Every structure is written in C-alpha cells, then in structure tokens.
Structure 1
Amino acid sequence: MAVTNQRGYVTTRGKQWYGYYRKVVNDPATNEQKSVRIPVNLGLKSRMNKTEARHALEREITKQLGQTGSPTRIMNDGTVTFGWFVTNRFIPLKEAVWKPDTAETKKLLIQLDLVDPLGEIPLANFDKFSLQLHLNKLAATCSKDRVLQMRAYLRDIFAEAVDQDFLVKDPARKVKVPAQLRPTDTTTLTWDQLRLALSKLKLRDRLILELDMTNALRPSELFAFRWKRFDYPATTLTIAETVYKGKIRDWGKTKKSLSVIHLPQELADDLETWRLECEQQARDEFAKGERKSRNLSPEEFIFANRDGGFMDTGNYRKRVLHKLARDLNLPKLTFQVIRRTIATLAQKKGTVKDVQGVLRHSRTATTTDVYMQEIPESVQSTINSINEELRGTVGLKRKKPAKAGGAVHGRRNPATRVTQNDTKSLRGGTERLPAYA
C-alpha cells in the first residue's frame, strides 16, 4: 500500500522501494503546462525501511526541483525567478566553498544588492541590457570594490544557471564594469612622513607600526601574533592565525597570508626588548595579585589589550593612528594607507615579484605577472631596504646578524631599555641610533 508524503509517496514493487512525485512540464504538442508523475527506484527493501525510503525520495526531489518547500518548477516553464534560483540553487553550492566566517557577509550583500531588487523577475527575462543597467545604478551609490564584487556574483549566478540547464544563454557574460565608478582612496605617504610617525611613538606602538610598515602586515595578522610565533635567533615571526570580527581564526585572507616573515636584526632586537618588558610587567602584576601566573606564557598575545586579549583594530585606528595623523598633519594614516604606501615605495627596493612576496598576495594580478618566481633572498633584501629607510640608516654599513644557534657578538642587549635620549649605539660603536629609538 502506498504511503503518502508531502512531496510524493513511496511504495514497494517486488523487492524494491519506488517513489513517485509530480512536476510541471511543458507539453511540446500544445505548449501548455501539464503535471506528470515521475517514478524513482529508491533501492532494495532489505537495505532500507519506509522512513529511509521517504528520505531518499525527498533527496531526489530536492536534487531535481530544489530545496524542501521550494516551487516544483523546472527550467523551461518560465516561472523560475532570480530570487528562487539564488536562494535554492546558487547559494547552497557556494556555501560548500565559502569560509564560514565570511559566508554570512557574502549572503547579506547578495540579498541587499541583487535579490531584493531583482528577486521577483523570472530568470528567463534577463538580458545584458537589464543587468548592465542594474550594475550602473549600483555604481552611483556603492564603492568600487562592492560594484566589482556584485558583477562577479552576477556572472557566477547566471553561469551556474546555464550549467544547471535553467538557461540556454548566459546574459551576464558580457556585462562590463561601469565606467563611472566612485573614486577610491589613493593616499600614500613618503619615507620622511613614515619616519616622523615612528619617531613620535613609544616602544609598543612603534613596534606595531614598524612591523606593519616593514612587512606590510594586515591588522588582522598583526594583532594575532603570540609570543610562541616569535623566533628571536632566527629573526622571524610566523603568521599562523588572524583576527576577524572579534574572533581568532586559523586561516588568512589569502593562501599566502599564513607564512613566515623575516625581521631585520634591529627590529628583532627591539621586539625581544619588548618581550623582556612584558615579562617584567607580568611579574609586577603577579606580585600585586592582578595575575595568576608570574611568567609570560607563549600563548599570550605580543600586543595584548588590558584584559590580555588581542587588540581591536578599529579602536587602535581611532585612538592611535587618527590622533597621530592629526598631530603630525598627515593627509591620512590607516593600516590600509601604510600597506599601500609600502607597496608603492618598495617598487624601488626590489622587483615587483619581491614586493608581492612582502605583501603576500595570492595572485600577482594585484602586484603583476603570474609567471615571475619569488626569490626568498631577494624578499629578505627588500624587507631590509624598507626597514633601513624607516630607520634612516640607508647606506650605513651594518654587521651581519649572527646565525641561529651561534654566538651573538655586538648585538644590542635586549634587557637594556631603549629611550628617546639614547644617542649612541648600544653595540659599542659610535653609530647613531635611528631618531625614534
């Protein structure tokens, strides 16, 4: 006896479970819609019970007609809307490849810019003109990046509609980037302005900005550093985590984001000085009963907030960077401006591929040709050149850093606090320290 189901029913025939459901098709003889019954062989009775058979039928219906509760229409009946296709056929596929933390943002933008204004229009009614017109309207009110993102989504959506046989021709394949895009910020600073900014900061904030300037770090990478990621003998920092929307994640913005970055010796020395200072602060807080452990844990953040967590990027930008820009009369100072500035100024310090290595772009489309090979030694040289500009020591001879594990000679003692009044190198020579040391 047949067992009814909301979107079909299952029954047995011999040793097999069969399911039946209905869908609407166009009658080629009359060109009118009609409902037809579709049979599905679900499997052997010995391998599934009735409930499992129903679930198997439901999966088949969903595969053929859309998700549970969606209209039981097919591609050639002309009533599948843009909104239904995006919700039931496009997003479920993309969610499998989107990162969970960014999927919600992507879905929200698609809903606001595409589904809300276009959702009720039948998929078959779109053409290049209507899509280009919508993109041009977005360009009048939205940023350049958002318009480019929506164009990419439109092309993906309609390409998927063709792949799934909902459309014969892709109307979005020739949609162009609108010519009248809102201008983007192109602010860059000079070496003198960067050095001036560093000279006005105390040790912690100077290290934050000098690390950011030397290695063009993203703030999501910078504020996620823990002490266990700092290898002083090797003068390296490992990017293994990033901060995103108040959470720590173990993946970065691009495939190349998570990597080992090189530090110039002087910068590594200063970072070790900061570590010793943090250790002393931990002992002082422990003595006052403000801390459970007297030792600095390798798990602690290098640049922690008052509660021991990671710093908030927006708060730091407003509290330190914006204030510094006002005090020094700089046109603008943000992490994005610093990264753009380094990408611009570093072109004279190494090849474009070396700059790409410093910025850790996943594609050279952001910096240039895909086929140039990155040379680690050249990247290290580029980083050193950038830091020499920041410290104002270009052209001055400097001793080579000691190899990891070897005896260290002539290195500044990290335990000695660097002050604004220091005028001579702590390495025993007469070489002057940079102005901000």
Structure 2
Amino acid sequence: MAAGRTVQPPSAPADPPRRSEAPALGRRLTSLTVACLVLGALVATSASATPSARGPSGPDGPAGVTTGIAVFDRTTGRYTEQLNAETQFRSASVVKLLLALDVLWDLGPDHQVPAADRTRLEAMLRGSDDGVASYYWTQRGGSRIIERTATRLGLTGTAPPPAAYPGHWGYTALTASDTVRIYRYLLDQAPAAVREVVMGNLRRSTRCANDGYDQRFGIPSASVGPWAVKQGWSGFTSGGPTADAGTPAATSAAAPASRRTRGATEAAPPRHPTTAASTATVDLARPALHSTGTVGADDRAIVAVLTLHPVGTPYGSAYTHLTHLVASLDVPGAQRPSGTWLGTLGSGVRVRADATTDSAVITTLPAGVEVLVDCQKRGRPISDGPRSSDWWAHLPQYGGYMTNVYVDTSGERIPGVPVC
C-alpha cells in the first residue's frame, strides 16, 4: 500500500474494545503462538521521521557498539562505505555461507545437488537452521571447513573458532571485507548452479528464522528490494518462548529449549571465558547482530554490516540500531522505503493482516523496536489501561497493521501520517 493513498475508512465496529493485541504494557509474552516472536526487555524509544545512525557518536552509534562496514558497488568496482572493514567479529550465522560453499565445492562437473543436501541448504540459508550447520560442521571436518574455504576464496581475516571452542562454528572470525569477497565470488566466479543455490535461497530468506527470531533487520528493513540476505545473531536471550506445532520454531531441527540464547548451538560463551578464549582477538561475550547480502537490480551493491552490542542489550534495540545504520549508508541501487519511523510500546505486539483482531497474525514485534509507518486507518477499537484507539498503523515492511495503542505517540491518531 503506497503512502498517502486515501480510501474511505470503515465505520468503527460495534464490538467492545479489545485488549488482546499485546500483554499489558511492559509485561513479557510468555508463549509463542504465531509464526515469529522476539523477546527482550522493554526499552524506551522515541519517534523519528527518518532513521539516523551517524549522529555525534559516528556510525558506531550508541556507546559500547562496535561496527564493521563494507559496501561495494559492483557497477563501478569501488567501495562506497568502509569502517573497521578489517576488524574481526565472530561470524554467528554468516559463516553458513562458507558451510554451503564447502558442500557445493564437491559437486561433480554437472553441478547437480543431491536432494538431501538441497533440502538442508534451503533450511540453513533461508531459515538459518542451526541444526543443519552443526550437521555439516561435524560431517565435513569442523575447523578444516574454514581453512579450506578461506584459502580458496582468498579471505585474509577469516579464521576457525578459537582453540578453546573447536566445535563452535559461530565463533569463526570474519571481517566485513571478507564478507564482501564471499559475495563477489558467488556473483562473479562461482558456477551458475552454485550461485543459484546460494543466492536463490538468500533471496527467499524467511522473516522468521527456524529458532523463532525475526531476521528482517538491517538490509531487508532498510531497502524496498530487490535484496538477498544472510543475517547473523548471537548472544540474545529469547526469554523462553514455546511454539505451536507447525511454526518454524517448533519444526526446526534446532528448536529452542525452554530457555534459549541464540548461539547455544554455536555454544554460547560462559560469563567468564577461559584464559584461552580471553586471549583470542574475537569478542565472544557481547551480543552480535550482522546484516549481509546484496541490494538492488542485478545485485548491484554488496553490503556487510557487522555489529557487537553491550551485554544485556535487548534484541529490539540492536535490531533498530542496525536497521537505522544500514539505512544511513551509501548503498548504490537501494530503494528506500517511505514513511515515518516510530517507537513501539509493550512486548509481543501483534502485526495483523488487517486492522482487526479477527485477521491473521503476521508476526509479533521485538520489544522496543522501531517500525516504519506509511499510513493509518480506522479498525477495531483497542484499549489497554489509559490508552485506547480505533486507529491502526500500516507497517509496509511487515505487510500488516498494528494498533496505534502500542505506537509511541500521543493521541489516538499518529500526527503527520496520512490515512490509508
């Protein structure tokens, strides 16, 4: 739905106000009943007309955030953005690109992918399935995978996990520059069949990862498309969601236990790492959130943004910061979404297919995340404590609506946002 489009708003329904769109403000949702859920401590956010990550503190943003950035324009053959591009970060799930390439390297001259591997690679690349990554890590030699692929691709800042954590694939060291090199190989040198398997799945990256986390931060939220992404996250506590049968988290081979920190399959670091781990150059303690991939027609721009956040940072806060950071970069070929960025209130707020509680739930929002709103319309009235409204905000990046009750703004309507 385009911003500014005006239609006749429906009459307010006669049903009494509902209070089911989120738990009471500030409380946590205790179960996963929809396709995607991310939990974190409630944080205050303020409305802003446009995202900004290059304030007085520079691209790194809030104090304590470390960022590595590389944006490469394939048309000109030049970098448009570089910041700490050679700094090593733990890869989290971005290493799954190397796992996939290692598998595909062994294909015969016809490059036919066995059906079992095609299914596994689809789950690992689209839904970031940890179970598949662990399977390949075990079957194909663990750290030797990283040594092989780094040599083949000429990666200069990529290294296996520290010696104290040999089985933890997510602790592989990776730089923003090397991430760009991986995508350049895929797009410019890899056999067409290999390119299609990897990039074709990245173009179909799911909103919900197989562990229940929303993975549409960064590139997908900052660009209308086309895009292809491999995201990474590690060290964020989920708070113990459970899933209904049939949801990605319930059916994943790496489904979370009653409590889960992303990175557990990678083996989450102890609170006080061992001496061997402490001497490594890669930070294993701070939560990591990475957005990598391509943007624009014909994959014009390659984008790699790697971030580390202070321990205890809510997922929604890191999600918002990374999205704003990507939106602030010079990314050739990117189409920026229109609308107004606004903070949200509560946790577990539902995004629905229409402005009524009778419509399907698309996802639930990370606590404290900001959302892009392009228009608003009247629908079913919702009340929660002193707040009530029959207006619903349209979120183009989610393709649905959330009640204005949980938009961080005063009044029932959002000032300056047009009617849908």
TM-score (normalizing by structure 1): 0.21
Higher helix proportion (structure 1 or 2): 1
When Rg is computed on C-alpha atoms for both structures, the one with the higher figure is 1
**Quick check: which one's strand share is greater?**
2
- TM-score, structure 2 length as denominator? 0.22
